[in-house]
Amino acid sequence: MSRPVGGLLPSLVRKGHFFTRVKNLGWLMRNWKIVEAFDLYPHPPTKNGFQPEFYLVARLRDGRTYETGYSSLEVFHDLLSRSRIFAGVPIAYHPKVEALIKSESSWKKNPKSSQVLRS
């Protein structure tokens, strides 16, 4: 993972050890056709007191990854439900994120399109 900027990890596109910072989720939305899968991990600790709920890794068909912190599982769910461009993209959950989802009654995941990541 990248070094935190202002306590938060920046959104970035990575290929091996090389990465490019991107401004925001707009990059992912513009490149939706090459998204292969989403992986959700616990977010690393931050220094500024603001702690996102999870870290999103979008695996791309060309071998790169898009990586960013998300402040809320509900916000991510809203993105997926409002934007049909990611319909059918598999989502894998780290066990700690899976436990967080189970504890939040407002966030329902589709078990047919997900799997739990091994730690």
In the beta sheet, which residues pair with residue 66?
Answer: 13, 58
Contact yes or no for 9/2 (Cβ under 8 A): yes
Query: Token pair 């070094």 is at which residue?
Result: 3
Strands of the 54-60 sheet, one edge to the other: 18-21, 12-15, 65-70, 54-60, 35-42, 91-93, 114-116
pLDDT one-digit tens code per residue, 58-117: 999 999 999 988 877 887 888 777 778 888 899 898 888 888 777 765 455 444 444 444
Q: From CA 45, how far away is CA 55, in angstroms rounded?
A: 11
